[in-house]
Copies of this chain bind each other. A is one copy, B any other.
């Protein structure tokens, strides 16, 4: 069995959203699964000295334009959300809680949460909103909200973010295929060749 593709992302990252909508198709084409690794970019930015794209001088105004244009180019539904960016502890914790229940619903949950924020403009930083978004997948909201406040789940996200940083993750999406790292949705063409040829 080939190893899963590690897909590191932050729920507040538009490029993470673009990548998330495309990585599963790519993985399936080459007989792989995706290991969904939500992380907190805020912790990463403390190390790199960077910050959310739209807040950066010069890069900020460009990046917003690029996000909107890239969505049109890829034909992915996208509405620039307000507020942006947001804290993403709630949706990230939800994914790690779901992982403990089994792998079946994780991908649907990630895509539903991303769409809720970047298409429908719902503020998924709120545990209540995250729980409501996941309710149609069969999770009882009160149980989900309790899980999001569980110290063990909080600790799991912290530890996963530390592991990601130790592995060199500094942006979103950050994709690892058989120890080869790729940063950015715009490296999916290289990811595909790597999967097809086993390296190049």
A184 to B62, CA, bound (A): 12
15 A–B pairs (Cβ distance < 8 Å), ordered by A: A48-B57, A48-B58, A49-B57, A57-B170, A58-B165, A58-B168, A61-B168, A62-B168, A62-B181, A66-B183, A66-B187, A69-B190, A73-B190, A186-B186, A186-B187
Main DSSP-derived SS at the A contact region:
helix
A interface, how many residues as a size bin? Answer: 20 to 34
* Chain A residues numbered 141-158 whose CB sits less than 8 Å from any CB in chain B: none
User: Is there contact, CB below 8 Å, between A58 and B73?
Assistant: no
A193 lies within 8 A of chain B by Cβ = yes
Q: Mark each residue of chain A from 152 to 188: 1 if its CB lies under 8 Å from any CB of chain B, else 0.
A: 0000000000000100111100000000011110110
Q: Which residue of chain B is the closest to A181 with respect to CB atoms?
A: B62
Distance between A66 CB and nearest chain B CB, rounded to angstroms: 7
A66 to B66, CA, bound (A): 21
Chain B residues lying within 8 Å of A49, measured Cβ to Cβ, are 49, 57
Q: Which residue of chain B is the closest to A69 with respect to CB atoms?
A: B190
